[in-house]
Amino acid sequence: MSQDPRRRVPRTDAVLDDPRLADAVERHGREGVKSAIRGVQDRVRGGEVAPDQVVDEVLAALPRRASSMTPVLNATGVVIHTNLGRAPVSPMAIEAMVDAAGYVDVELDLATGARGGRGTDTLAALLAAVPDAQAAHVVGNGAAALVLATTALAARRDVVVSRGEMVEIGDGFRLPDLIASTGARLREVGTTNRTHLADYAEAIGPDTGCILKVHPSNFLVSGFTSSVDVAELGRLGRERDVPVVMDIGSGLLTPDPVLPGEPDASTSLRAGADLVTASGDKLLGGPQAGLILGRADLVQRLRRHPLARALRVDKLTLAALEATLRGPATPTVAALHATAEDLLPRTRALAEHLGREVVAVEGRVGGGGGPGVALPGWAVEVPVDAVARLRQPTDPAVSVVLARVDGGRGLVDLRCIPASADETLLASLRHALQP
């Protein structure tokens, strides 16, 4: 009679005490390692694993990273890639988040030992970057910034907005639904393609809480069109004592010649907006955050609203945002400003190593920014089936790469990949191109 397979399964406590698992227990915790052991023990019972291989199999089963999210090399040529977490934060921002991960003086005055202002240095950095703003506030994301502004200024009142700016902001969320959720009433003016200043003027009344202008950041409207700029709305708002809120969307703080049609916070405030709302994890290149900039009295009104507490950001976001604002150019800025001439030598070198062709391509800003703006560059052409292998390598030591397919060709665009990762990218491509 064969031996009962249950007798061959090493005891959990005996496996846990194996010195080879000491580092794993320290990294993953005793319960995490126990869970992996139980899984391997089941495989021993099923005859898949020999009893003397349990420790090796447990080590192989434990996660290689601290979270389930997989680092990806972005070879799509899309700079702000929403599915890849939008902007990659800068090395300085990463350092700042590590510093802030423990106990920090996020809300403490070390000189007095008393409670201090929350995120004061981050707000100071934001105001230094946008001197046209009298005050600033930071919330969880761009949509939260807009929700807080319309709630504080126009709950149970009217928000006057052009029909041509009633946009869907992604994942099925629509501006009308977002504003309606705050208790404000939408007062739509004009038509889809044409809105005039007189339309706004006729809609303003005693129940108007604010005028809202939204930059239609992820699409273009051309042809027989007309819209009202923020300068005209600012003058109308001052005449009628109604604040003008400008949602610029992608978070550009000052003008950028690469993005000539993209509104920025400084210019919008100088032109006449009373408040500007924007995202922090798009063109700014920082962590996910919603930025609110503008008149001091209005910002204070938003800051003291009860909803502000529910939308406030944590210490990691404050630290990363400050480092982004005070530090060197972010990876996002570097990718946006990389020219075709900058990218060609690296692309050629990669192609020569692989025996592949170099083709001209156009990158994109992404994230709703710069619709229609092409970023000329170059890419290494690879077989279409290699794109899937780049995304799901069979060797766990090989980095994951997201390339794109265009016109029946696989394209590996280096725009968003730092030069320091070229060797890593080459290894991934060699693995994906193996027969």
pLDDT digits (tens, 9 = 90+) for 335-376: 999 999 999 999 999 999 999 999 999 999 998 888 889 999
SS3 132: coil
In DSSP notation, 367-424 reads TTEEEEEEEEEEEEEE-HHHHHHHHS-SSTTSPEEE-EEETTEEEEE-TTS-GGGHHH
Tell me which of 296, 328, 360 is where a domain ends. Answer: 328
Domain that includes residue 243, residue range: 90-328
CATH number at residue 344: 3.90.1150.180
Q: Per-residue pLDDT tens for 74-105?
A: 999 999 999 999 999 999 999 999 999 999 99
Q: Are 272 and 230 in contact (CB under 8 A)?
A: yes
Residues 125 and 30 in one domain: no
Co-location of 94 and 173 in the same domain:
yes
> Which residues, 6+ apart, have CB-to-CB distance to 49 below 8 Å?
40, 43, 57
Round to the nearest angstrom and report the end-to-end CA distance of the chain. Answer: 47
Residues 313, 340: one domain? Answer: no
Asked if 41 and 123 sit in the same domain, the reply is no
Answer yes or no: is 181 within a domain: yes
Over range 314-339, report the average pLDDT.
Answer: 97
The residue-averaged pLDDT of 197-212 equals 94
Instruction: Tell whether 420 is covered by a domain.
Output: yes
Pair 404, 318: CB distance under 8 Å: no
* Model confidence at 123: pLDDT above 80: yes
pLDDT digits (tens, 9 = 90+) for 13-32: 999 999 999 999 999 999 99
Kindly state the average pLDDT of the residues 369-394.
94
Calculate the CA dihedral of residues 249, 251, 256, 259 and round it to 10 degrees: -30
For residue 38, how many C-alpha atoms fall within 13 Å in the half-sphere facing its CB? Answer: 6
Picking from 268-272, 364-368, 380-384, which range would have the lowest pLDDT averaged per residue? Answer: 364-368
270 assigned to some structural domain? yes
Residues 98 and 77 in one domain: no
**How many structural domains does the chain have?**
3
Q: Is position 53 within any domain?
A: yes
Residue 178 binned pLDDT confidence (cut-offs 50, 70, 90): confident
Q: Which of 264, 295, 328 is the last residue of a domain?
A: 328
Percent of the chain scored above 70 by pLDDT?
95
**Would residue 133 be called left, alpha or beta, if left means φ above 0 and alpha means ψ between -120 and 50 degrees?**
beta
Q: In this structure, are 110 and 174 located in the same domain?
A: yes
Nearest to 222 by CA among 192, 247, 189: 192
pLDDT of residue 177: 82
Domain co-membership, 55 together with 182: no
Asked if residue 67 is part of any domain, the answer here is no
In a domain, 210, yes or no: yes
Supply φ then ψ for residue 218, to 5 degrees. Answer: -110, 20
Do 283 and 147 lie in one domain? The reply is yes
On the question of pLDDT at 425 being above 70, the answer is yes
Residue 34 is inside which H or E element, if any?
helix 30-45
At 373, list the tokens.
């703006």
The answer to the question of residue 66 being in a domain is no
For tokens 């005996």, what's the residue?
14
Task: Single out the residue in 304, 328, 352 at which a domain terminates.
Answer: 328
Residue 177, domain member (yes or no): yes
Q: What is the pLDDT of residue 266?
A: 98
121 and 245 fall within a common domain: yes
174 forms bridges with which residues in the sheet? Answer: 168
pLDDT tens-digit profile of 43-67?
999 889 999 999 999 999 999 888 8
